[in-house]
């Protein structure tokens, strides 16, 4: 046994191999963290996030990827770093939006430096929005002028020129519906998905074509409505004796037209964004012409404001934040003027609260979190006044709950978890009272479940696992009732499965393996039912393999090796069936490699060394192919290292020392390459130490390898980067070297 190796018979599952979770409560919460200059790139960052979350999204999911984008200026609130650090640790990739402004931002540099220390360069993606990136081959680094768009922490860190995308042409007018912008963003999305870019784009194109065919008839009908409104206006102008009546009629028709247009476009996917914006703009022009054509009655102005609210919603949906903000602001201005003339009008008060909410939503998307929070709070004040006047109005009560949740969302984004929790609890108190009054109201019950989940997520982030478990349990109970009433609603069924998984994760975090296993089994049962109903749904099939892996991980931690092996093999069977349908899917190939390695670990602990060796070699073959396809993907590069290390352990246990040495040497070459790419990455440095120790223990240049390993450990120990176990390696190596001399 190596002086720095641990016994291979440990029953605990190798958690670094377990496929990532699906839910918010897991350690890997985000697929990507976007780091950028809030002063210059808010709109572009929002558009980039929108595209990446949309590409490859199945219809039944809210997003394809979960991206973290900090909407607040950390320079104003430095105490938020703890939340940002946590989000970085829960992210798989860091997307740096590089610009001279970002380069001089101490907070961007802090985020990047933290990422390099804990995760390395391989999962860092760069998008350039201003400045120049010029690679200097002689210096093996970028040229660093005064206006360098990269932060100082990246200086001298690259071994070769990294891949980056050029977003400079889109900085001032970035839109998620711009085909060229989306094509560039797809480079990042494909990397994070582990799929070829062409696959993502072709899937998106197919969805757009289908949606566009469905939308053509709707567009034709809406244009006809627009012509009708214009005709009525012409008649009103021509026939003076009926001018007032017809003008009001035409105005109401125009307001209704804009309202219906906005709603129709929002629910009919596939219409090009430019077409939507143009038609809505023309309808609004007609609306403005009619209101300017004479003295407009307050009711018509109120309907105009309502139509503008719908317009803001639709424009926000298609990514036109500038137009959405203008429409929302105009709606608020109209309603404020009406309310000034009639302060006691309840309809106007409700209209103002709605307008404030839409202004808040638009500002939140644009990155103006402070403005969004102010708008939401203005709306909350108005709603509170309305509810006090009429406590029995359930529509206002629900709106008040939603308003509190919106405020909670903003505070959570700011890192104010305590404030977010207080806002969410204000909202859930209202929904809880409503749901108790009418248990049969499905919408209210579902809203109550969502509120419990939001509270649970904050509690989990705060480390309050008992509180999170209670909140997740309350949500689970509600969704379970809804799913039982409507078994055909697959969204609720999957929501119930995710709820089971959240509970399982929380129980596992508390050390309750038995409870976690029960929750994961409940999740698996639901996913199995869904997968059987629709065997062609690849996402549900993959959910099935992930659930099997979670169950196997717990069983192995419990020492139930046969049960763990059976669960791992069940998951691998699902992955194999997916690969038969799409052999080129790299994400599933990676799942297969991990599955082989997990099976190998169980077989090794069971002393089935030939079986373990065969499984590890199967995993190595796939891991090597993936690493060759994408040398920049560090996770894929590390895969062959881990497989070689485990193969070497098995061969050494079988007495095949030459074979073990060859495997260890292969692993050492990979570990050295990774460690050289990022000397600050503690994981890669300790991996290198392990490989050096294994090769030395196998008799290859022992003194030199142990000397190098000892130097690495002492360097890491000097800066406090070693665990207590790793500090023990130093003494073991020194003792081995003394004995060898």
Q: What is the pLDDT of residues 182-197, one digit of tens each?
A: 888 988 988 888 777 7
* Residue range of the domain that includes 336: 214-389
Q: Is the pLDDT of residue 326 over 60?
A: yes
Q: Are residues 69 and 166 in the same domain?
A: yes
Average pLDDT over residues 440-465: 89
Q: How far is CA 311 from CA 258, 269, 305, 326, 338, in A?
A: 7, 16, 10, 10, 20
Is 725 a domain residue?
no
Q: What is the pLDDT of residue 382?
A: 93
Q: Which residues pair with 93 in a beta bridge?
A: 32
Q: What is the CATH number of the domain that holds 295?
A: 1.25.40
Q: What is the pLDDT of residue 227?
A: 56
Q: Is the pLDDT of residue 136 over 70?
A: yes
Q: Which residue has the tokens 């291979």?
A: 8
Q: Which residue has the higher pLDDT, 292 or 623?
A: 623
Average pLDDT over residues 31-52: 87
Residue 51 in contact with residue 189, Cβ under 8 Å? yes
Q: Are residues 262 and 359 in the same domain?
A: yes
Q: What is the CATH number of the domain that holds 465?
A: 1.25.40.10
Q: What is the pLDDT of residue 517?
A: 95
SS (H, E, C) 381-397: HHHHHHHHHCCCCHHHH
Q: What is the pLDDT of residue 271?
A: 47
Q: What is the pLDDT of residue 244?
A: 46
Q: Is the pLDDT of residue 15 over 50?
A: no
Q: Is the pLDDT of residue 613 over 90?
A: yes
Which residues are CB-neighbours of 404 under 8 A, at least 6 positions away?
380, 423, 424, 426, 427, 430
Q: Are residues 287 and 413 in the same domain?
A: no
Alpha-helix runs per DSSP H in 60-161: 81-89, 100-103, 106-118
Q: How far apart are CA 309 and CA 258, in angstroms?
A: 10
Q: How far apart are CA 126 and CA 117, in angstroms?
A: 17
Mean pLDDT over each residue of the chain, to the nearest integer = 80
Q: Are residues 369 and 402 in the same domain?
A: no
Q: Are residues 144 and 255 in the same domain?
A: no
Q: Is the pLDDT of residue 352 over 60?
A: yes
Burial of 484 (0-12, 13-18, 19+ CB in 10 A): exposed
Its sign, for the CA torsion 83, 547, 687, 463, is positive
Task: Please work out, in degrees rounded to the nearest 5, the angle formed at the alpha carbon of residue 676 by the alpha carbons of 671 and 679.
Answer: 105
Q: How far apart are CA 461 and CA 82, in angstroms?
A: 11
Q: Are residues 344 and 447 in the same domain?
A: no
Mean pLDDT is lowest, of 23-32, 529-538, 650-659, for 23-32
Domain edge (last residue) among 164, 195, 226: 195
Percent of residues, the chain, with pLDDT higher than 90: 33
Give the residue among 505, 482, 509 at the shortest CA–CA distance from 494: 482
Q: Is the pLDDT of residue 426 over 80?
A: yes
Q: Are residues 43 and 103 in the same domain?
A: yes
Is 304 a domain residue?
yes
Residue 447 in contact with residue 398, Cβ under 8 Å? yes
Q: Is the pLDDT of residue 14 over 50?
A: no
Which residues are CB-neighbours of 242 under 8 A, at least 6 positions away?
236
Q: How far apart are CA 643 and CA 273, in angstroms?
A: 48
Q: What is the CATH number of the domain that holds 149?
A: 3.40.50.10140
Average pLDDT over residues 478-503: 88
Q: How far apart are CA 468 and CA 456, in angstroms?
A: 4
Which residues are CB-neighbours of 432 under 8 A, at least 6 positions away?
448
Q: What is the pLDDT of residue 541?
A: 87
Is 345 a domain residue?
yes
Is 637 a domain residue?
no
Mean pLDDT is lowest, of 64-78, 111-125, 356-370, 440-454, for 64-78
Is 5 a domain residue?
no
Q: What is the pLDDT of residue 727?
A: 83
- Give the pLDDT band (50/70/90) at residue 692: very high
Is 131 a domain residue?
yes
Q: Which residues pair with 68 in a beta bridge?
A: 33
Domain edge (last residue) among 389, 413, 441: 389
Q: Which residue has the higher pLDDT, 582 or 222?
A: 582
Q: Are residues 110 and 244 in the same domain?
A: no
Q: What is the pLDDT of residue 167?
A: 93
Q: Are residues 42 and 176 in the same domain?
A: yes
Q: Are residues 67 and 179 in the same domain?
A: yes
Domain edge (last residue) among 141, 167, 195: 195
- Give the pLDDT band (50/70/90) at residue 740: low
pTM score: 0.57
Q: Is the pLDDT of residue 451 over 60?
A: yes
Q: pLDDT tens digits, residue range 557-601?
A: 899 999 999 999 999 999 999 888 888 888 889 889 999 999 999
The kind and range of the H/E element at 69 are strand 67-69
- Give the pLDDT band (50/70/90) at residue 533: confident
Q: Is the pLDDT of residue 376 over 90?
A: yes
Its sign, for the CA torsion 480, 481, 486, 492, is negative
Is 445 a domain residue?
yes
Number of domains in the chain: 3
Q: pLDDT tens digits, residue range 48-98?
A: 988 888 787 654 455 678 888 876 333 334 456 777 887 888 888 999 999
Q: Are residues 191 and 122 in the same domain?
A: yes
Q: Is the pLDDT of residue 280 over 70?
A: no
Average pLDDT over residues 514-526: 94
Mean pLDDT is lowest, of 19-28, 80-89, 670-679, 721-730, for 19-28
Is 205 a domain residue?
no
Q: Are residues 327 and 467 in the same domain?
A: no
Q: Is the pLDDT of residue 368 over 70?
A: yes
């Amino acid at each position: 046994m190596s002086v720095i190796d641990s016994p291979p018979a440990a029953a605990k599952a190798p958690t670094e191999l377990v496929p990532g979770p699906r839910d918010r409560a897991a350690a890997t919460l985000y697929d990507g963290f976007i780091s950028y200059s809030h002063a210059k790139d808010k709109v572009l960052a929002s558009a980039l996030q929108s595209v990446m979350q949309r590409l490859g999204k199945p219809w039944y999911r809210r997003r394809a990827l979960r991206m973290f984008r900090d909407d607040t200026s950390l320079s104003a609130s430095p105490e938020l770093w703890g939340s940002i650090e946590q989000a970085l640790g829960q992210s798989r990739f860091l997307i740096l939006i590089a610009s001279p402004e970002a380069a001089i931002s101490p907070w961007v540099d802090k985020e990047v430096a933290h990422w390099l220390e804990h995760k390395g360069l391989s999962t860092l993606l760069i998008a350039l929005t201003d400045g120049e990136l010029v690679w200097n081959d002689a210096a093996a680094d970028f040229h660093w002028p005064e206006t360098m768009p990269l932060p100082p922490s990246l200086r001298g860190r690259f071994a070769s020129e990294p891949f980056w995308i050029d977003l400079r042409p889109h900085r001032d007018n970035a839109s998620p519906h711009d085909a060229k912008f989306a094509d560039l963003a797809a480079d990042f999305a494909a990397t994070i998905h582990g799929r070829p870019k062409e696959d993502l784009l072709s899937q998106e194109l197919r969805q757009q074509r289908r949606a566009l065919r469905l939308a053509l008839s709707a567009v034709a009908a809406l244009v006809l409505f627009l012509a009708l409104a214009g005709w009525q206006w012409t008649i009103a102008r021509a026939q003076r004796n009926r001018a007032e009546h017809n003008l009001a009629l035409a105005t109401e028709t125009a307001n209704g037209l804009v309202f219906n247009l906005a709603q129709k476009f929002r629910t009919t996917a596939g219409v090009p964004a430019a077409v939507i914006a143009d038609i809505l703009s023309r309808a609004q022009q007609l609306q403005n012409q009619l209101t300017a054509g004479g003295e407009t009655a307050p009711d018509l102005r109120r309907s105009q404001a309502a139509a503008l609210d719908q317009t803001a919603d639709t424009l926000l949906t298609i990514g036109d934040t500038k137009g959405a903000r203008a429409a929302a602001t105009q709606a608020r201005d109209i309603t404020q003027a009406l309310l000034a003339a009639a302060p006691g009008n309840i309809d106007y008060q409700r209209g103002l609260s709605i307008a404030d909410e839409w202004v808040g939503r638009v500002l939140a998307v644009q990155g103006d979190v402070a403005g969004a929070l102010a708008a939401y709070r203005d709306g909350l004040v108005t709603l509170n006044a309305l509810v006090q006047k009429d406590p029995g109005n359930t529509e206002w009560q629900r709106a008040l709950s939603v308003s509190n949740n919106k405020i909670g969302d903003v505070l959570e984004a700011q890192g104010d978890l305590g404030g977010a929790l207080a806002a969410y609890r204000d909202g859930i108190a209202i929904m809880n009272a409503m749901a108790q009054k009418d248990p049969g109201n499905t919408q209210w019950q579902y809203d109550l479940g969502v509120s419990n989940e939001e509270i649970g997520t904050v509690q989990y982030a705060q480390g309050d696992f008992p509180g999170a478990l209670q909140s997740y349990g309350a949500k689970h109970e509600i969704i379970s009732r809804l799913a039982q009433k409507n078994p055909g609603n697959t969204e609720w069924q999957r929501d119930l499965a995710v709820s089971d998984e959240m509970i399982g994760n929380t129980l596992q975090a508390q050390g309750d393996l038995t409870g976690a296993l029960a929750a994961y089994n409940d999740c698996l049962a639901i996913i199995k039912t869904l997968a059987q109903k629709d065997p062609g749904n690849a996402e549900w099939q993959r959910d099935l393999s992930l659930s099997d892996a979670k169950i196997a991980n717990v069983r192995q931690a419990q020492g139930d090796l046969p049960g763990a092996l059976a669960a791992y093999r069940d998951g691998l069977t699902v992955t194999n069936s997916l690969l038969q349908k799409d052999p080129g899917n790299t994400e599933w190939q990676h799942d297969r490699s991990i599955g082989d390695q997990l099976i190998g670990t169980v077989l090794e602990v069971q002393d089935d060394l030939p079986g373990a060796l065969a499984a590890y070699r199967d995993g190595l073959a796939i891991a090597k192919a993936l690493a060759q396809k994408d040398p920049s993907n560090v996770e894929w590069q590390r895969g062959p290292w881990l497989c070689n290390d485990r193969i070497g352990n098995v061969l050494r246990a079988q007495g095949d020392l030459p074979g073990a040495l060859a495997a260890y040497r292969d692993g050492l070459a990979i570990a050295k390459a990774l460690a050289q790419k990022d000397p600050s990455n503690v994981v890669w440095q300790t991996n290198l130490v392990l490989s050096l120790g294994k090769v030395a223990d196998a008799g290859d240049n022992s003194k030199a390898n142990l000397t190098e390993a000892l130097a690495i450990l002492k360097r890491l120990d000097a800066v406090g980067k070693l665990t207590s176990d790793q500090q023990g390696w130093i003494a073991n190596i020194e003792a081995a070297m003394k004995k060898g001399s």
